[in-house]
Amino acid sequence: MSGYILIENKNNILNESWLKNVTNDLSDIDSDHFRRVISIVSSLFLDEISCFGESLFDHGINTVNILTAINADKSTRLASLLSSLPYNVISNLLKDKYMSNLFGSDIVNLIKGSLSLSKIGIATRSLSYKFNASNAQKEMKRKMLLAMAVDLRIILIRLSSRLQTLRWCSYSHKDVYKEFAQETIDLYSPLANRLGVWQIKWEIEDLSFRILYSNEYKKIASLLEKRREERELFISKYIKDISYALIRAGIKGEVSGRPKHIYSIWNKMQTKDMDFFSLSDLSAVRVIVNDIKNCYEVLGVIHEIWEPITEEFNDYISCPKTNGYQSLHTVVRESNGSLLEIQIRTYEMHQFAEHGLAAHWFYKESSHNSGIIQKTTIYDKKLSVLRQLLTWGSEAIDIRNAKIYVMTPKAKVIELPCDSTAVDFAYHLHTELGHCCRGARIDGQIVPLQTKLHTGQTVEIISIKSGGPSRDWLNSQLGFLASNRAKIKVRMWFNSIDLQRRINYGQNLVEKELSKVGKKTINLEHLAHSLGFIKAEDLYISVAKDEFSLRNITNFFNKSIDNIVHSLKIDIPIEDRKKNVDRDRKETSGILISGVNNLLTKVALCCRPVPQDVISGFITRGRGVSIHRTNCYSFSLLKSRNNDRVVDANWDCKDDFFYQTDIIVEACDRNGLLSDLSESISKMRLNITGISNYSKDKLSHIIFTVEINRVDVIQRIINSLSRVSGVLFVSRKE
């Protein structure tokens, strides 16, 4: 298999030819450091093999070869080799102060990151693919890998290691776990694409595809081989034509053919629903020139020779891909109808397209050593692209600072806010699991519920069958919860408990009040509706919160028995209907009649005056003096007919004297309107003693009879009711 080297003897690692090959592009200082570390660790591999049957030693040096081919830096190459050591060996080396100092902090951090990702891969692979992970879950796993990779070079190490494993299995004809190949396609191929490492991307895709769909792979490979000679002639003709055209235009450049890879061909067949023979662009031509100006000049030359397919043109130079890739892509049609894709780019763009992230270090080393690139601004420009590599969709660039990614025991990845705990994790999975959470295991160890979670950990919740959260969880100083989602669920649980307690308390008060007036068998739902509530529970809550006075219930039953029967639609014995309660108010104080107190007075129901209204009295026959507002229409009629019975009246009352007044409301009819209006008045701690309501043409006309002690309260009531949704008009009844 291309790129695979089998080492027969570990001592060959010290072979000068190999060392020169993997250090040739490094500085003298880095090369010397590389050699010193290699001389120490080469004897520590202990002939151990991986789970795939490959020698760890062979795996390590071949991974270094892959990284060298894409111009990775010295630290990345050494870290990849050291990560291939047996786990117990490298763990002890990292604990050794001398060895850690020899490696350097940069390499130590890369090793730790690489081992963490490797460990996560082993833990998730065997479990997660049994459950056919969704695309969203695959994306979550990619995010977790990136979040765990504090340094993006860690991803490069894991990509190179994975490619080496696939090469080994292909070379040795070893069976590979299909889960490993599927994981490569789902997780690592998109990462390679995101980092722009094209050389690694196409190879891991083809090797994984060969494992997953061996028949399809062989079929496409066979068809490609059969048409190889035809395809080579086709490509060589275009290369020749373009090369001559560049010479005539005075443009220096390299022209080469590029065959499409098997996985990309299969992918195109699937997405376009076409068979192999219907595909017209199985090969492409690449033109590499010195600068951007030349790129567009070449494009013009090519479009003069062949007809361009406009909709297939892409200018990735002006608008680079999210991974920093730049190139001009065009598809042209020859006179015989055949199509060809042509890519045009600079040498620098080509280096980045092939090596991706690793090209950053290549250009930096080049500027220091060989002088290929003189301006450090090129490196700075590349770094600006590097800073975008962690961006997935519209997410923040520093994903590690915003989110953590942990796993369930079945390897499902869960995204949580930073500083989340096991309680946050439980509520994210299910509300009831959160309520019943009593303990947690992190990576198999029982820990306190306040323990902060970190990316890559496996969390298992210990729960009881039923129960509820602790109020301590809402105490931010105790650190049980970090996510707003979990906090809201805990608050909702306690609110529901408090609500039920209020309902029970209010129901108890209402039933006691009904017992006092001899109405224990009343239908409570009908009573609630008659008092302006949607259901009985709303009545209980208002009573419990002291927003609705129990006097309203007593006053309600001070109507005639016939009205009660009609309102509540209940059966009452005929003999009980003969009982009647005088509902007239017998208020004899608080009003002065011609300067005399304690005369029998009665507030007129037609205008219902209240303190601070201008009032007059009218002497009735046997019922004392009827008190009216002076602008009352009924009083004006009485005065015009019997002026001699009109007497002066004035208020002489304190604030604890309450009088009834009527408030008229017109509103759009809707569910809950009466309840909302009643609640608006009750919140002012005012007593509603009567409600009259009828609807017509989707409009409700409602009259509230309210007890107040001053006329200025009326305006407050009007203002409050006017703010209720759907209210069109509010006024005092004249």
Mean pLDDT, rounded, for 513-534: 80
- How far apart CA 629 and CA 640 sit, in angstroms, is 15
Return the higher-pLDDT residue of 65 and 370: 65
Average pLDDT estimate for 673-693: 86
Please report the pLDDT score of residue 625 as a whole number: 84
| Residue spans per domain, the chain | 10-212, 223-386, 399-482, 513-577, 591-651, 659-732
Residue 281: predicted pLDDT: 62
- Ranking 80-84, 289-293, 543-547 by mean pLDDT, the lowest is 543-547
Q: Which CATH class is domain 659-732?
A: alpha beta
Is pLDDT of 125 > 80?
no
Q: Which residue has the higher pLDDT, 575 or 116?
A: 116
* pTM, two decimal places: 0.54
Does residue 374 carry a pLDDT above 50?
no
Cα–Cα distance for residue pair 524/537, rounded to 1 Å? 9
**Average pLDDT for 120-140:** 60
pLDDT above 80: residue 624: no
pLDDT digits (tens, 9 = 90+) for 11-31: 554 577 888 888 988 889 999
**May I ask the CATH class of domain 10-212?**
mainly alpha
pLDDT at 114 over 90: no
pLDDT at 382 over 50: no
**What CATH topology corresponds to 223-386?**
Beta Polymerase; domain 2 (3.30.460)
Report pLDDT for 14.
52
Averaged pLDDT, 626-655: 82
Q: What is the pLDDT of residue 597?
A: 54
Please give the average per-residue pLDDT across 664-682, as a whole number: 86
| pLDDT confidence band for 598 (50 / 70 / 90) | low
Share of the chain above pLDDT 90, in %: 19
What DSSP designation does 643 have? G
Q: How confident is the model at residue 516 (pLDDT cuts 50, 70, 90)?
A: confident
138-195 pLDDT per residue, tens: 766 767 776 666 678 888 899 999 999 999 888 877 666 787 888 888 888 888 887 7
Greatest mean pLDDT range, 49-63, 277-291, 376-390, 687-701: 49-63
pLDDT at 461: 93
Reading phi first (left if > 0) and then psi (alpha if -120 to 50, else beta), residue 356 is in: left
Each residue's pLDDT tens digit, 443-461: 889 999 999 998 888 899 9
More confident residue, 285 or 361: 285
Q: How far is CA 215 from CA 2, 218, 266, 518, 687, in A?
A: 21, 5, 12, 87, 84
pLDDT band at 587 (very low <50, low <70, confident <90, very high): very low
Q: Binning pLDDT at 50, 70 and 90, where does residue 668 land?
A: confident
Q: Band of the pLDDT at 604, cuts 50, 70, 90?
A: confident
Under CATH, which number does the domain 399-482 receive? 3.10.20.30
From the CA atom positions of the chain, what is the Rg in Å?
A: 43
User: Is the pLDDT score of 375 beyond 50?
Assistant: no
- Higher per-residue pLDDT: 295 or 583: 295
Helices (H), 629-732: 633-641, 673-682, 712-722
> 563 falls in which pLDDT band (50, 70, 90)?
very low
Residue 729: helix, strand or coil by DSSP?
strand
Between CA 416 and CA 455 the distance in angstroms is: 9
What pLDDT, on the 0 to 100 scale, is given for residue 657? 74
Query: Residue-wise over 145-179: b if at least 16 C-beta within 10 A, else e?
Result: bbbbbebbbbbbbbbbbbbbbbbbbbbeeeebeee
Supply the pLDDT for residue 532: 77
Provide the pLDDT for residue 356. Answer: 66
Which H/E stretch holds residue 703? strand 699-708
- Judged against a pLDDT cut of 70, whether residue 649 lies above it is answered with yes
Rounded mean pLDDT, 227-237: 81
